[in-house]
């Protein structure tokens, strides 16, 4: 049966702050662990007033220390922003503190705008074009050190970290297949190439020391509530945030708005309908049908579920409903 995991963007909502967002993140992670979710990922985004997980490895440490069994990791680290050795040391430390529980998803996008990317890296010459070499360099730091090896990751070498390639295009699918790594596709906000990327990854996959057969995880927005109408209302916060990002009006996650989609012009409505098409929004029964159909259509090995919900209690409840639905589907399989 398809596995179920959580992607948390650590939303900072209007009227609140990063401290509360990070407290909510830990609370949701503890609920996810109790509910049987496989892993809990956090994403690297910069210069985003509504996201509290910019220092991703620090937040992972916070979540891993506050839980005990759920896998915790990055979905992902945007490797062009960092020296591979530094990421190896950070995640080697996490793995030493929390053995067998740390995931490292790697992406090649900056996770921000170009001005912020320049502030992060200082030099944009060593960017996305070096991504495959940087991935290999990073992975090699976790191998046992050679006798004459001059540069070592300590902690890092010999630590067991689960590596993933992330992507929203065909590039990541090809790299994951070539390296024999699990692949996570960002269909929750960029679904256009999902089917093509899955086909490419599965057909070109080369077994490796990490993985014997392809393992594809797909991002999915799930907004579950007691009724379809309530879920649609919760979903409007993400719709608003998405339109604001696309129109360069970034801010904190806004509260729900009744009939928000009806206020949009046709172009904006078409944009969010396409970009957020990988979304299941509704009551328990609606969510069951939607998740079942998405799995049947894609053959996903794992779903990475995200829900940018303004009210934290409603967000926890959404993940509770989904866990119940997943249990029912698993028992019926």
The domains located in the chain, with CATH, are 3-332 (3.20.20.30)
Element (H, E) at 306: strand 302-306
Residue 74 phi, psi dihedral angles, 5° rounding: -105, 130
The structure's pTM equals: 0.95
* CA–CA separation, 278 and 195 (whole Å): 12
Element (H, E) at 281: strand 279-282
Per-residue pLDDT of the chain (333 residues; tens, 9 = 90+): 899 999 999 999 999 999 999 999 999 999 999 999 999 999 999 999 999 999 999 999 999 999 999 999 999 999 988 999 999 999 999 999 999 999 999 999 765 667 766 776 655 555 567 899 999 999 999 999 888 889 999 999 999 999 999 999 999 999 999 999 999 999 999 999 999 999 999 999 999 999 999 999 999 999 999 999 999 999 999 999 999 988 888 899 999 999 999 999 999 999 999 999 999 999 999 999 999 999 999 999 999 999 999 999 999 999 999 999 999 999 987
Q: Which residues contact 150 (CB under 8 A, 6 or more apart)?
A: none
């Amino acid at each position: 049966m398809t596995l179920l995991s959580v992607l948390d963007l650590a939303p900072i909502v209007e009227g609140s702050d990063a401290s509360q967002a990070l407290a909510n993140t830990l609370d949701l992670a503890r609920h996810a662990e109790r509910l049987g979710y496989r892993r809990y990922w956090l994403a690297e985004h910069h210069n985003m007033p509504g996201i509290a997980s910019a220092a991703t490895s620090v937040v992972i440490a916070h979540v891993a220390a506050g839980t005990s069994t759920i896998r915790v990791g990055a979905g992902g680290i945007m490797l062009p922003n960092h020296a591979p050795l530094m990421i190896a040391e950070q995640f080697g430390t996490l793995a030493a503190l929390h053995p067998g529980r740390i995931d490292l998803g790697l992406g090649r996008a900056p996770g921000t705008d170009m001005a912020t990317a320049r502030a992060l890296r200082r030099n944009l010459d060593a960017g996305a074009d070096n991504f495959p070499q940087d991935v290999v360099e990073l992975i090699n730091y976790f191998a046992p050190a050679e006798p004459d090896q001059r540069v070592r990751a300590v902690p890092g070498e010999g630590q067991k970290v689960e590596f993933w390639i992330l992507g929203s295009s065909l590039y990541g699918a090809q790299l994951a297949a070539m390296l024999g790594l699990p692949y996570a596709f960002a269909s929750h906000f960029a679904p256009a190439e999902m089917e093509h990327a899955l086909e490419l990854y599965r057909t070109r996959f080369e077994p490796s020391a990490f993985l014997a057969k392809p393992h594809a995880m797909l991002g999915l927005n799930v907004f579950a509530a007691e009724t379809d109408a309530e879920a649609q209302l919760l979903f409007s916060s993400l719709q608003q945030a998405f339109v604001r990002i696309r129109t360069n009006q970034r801010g904190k996650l806004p509260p729900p708005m009744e009939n928000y989609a009806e206020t949009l012009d046709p172009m904006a409505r078409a944009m969010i309908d396409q970009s957020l098409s990988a979304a299941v929004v509704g009551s328990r029964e609606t969510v069951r049908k939607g998740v079942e159909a998405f799995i049947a259509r894609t053959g996903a090995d794992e779903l990475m579920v995200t829900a940018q919900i303004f009210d934290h209690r409603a967000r926890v409840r959404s993940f509770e409903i989904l866990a119940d639905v997943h249990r029912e589907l698993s028992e019926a399989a």
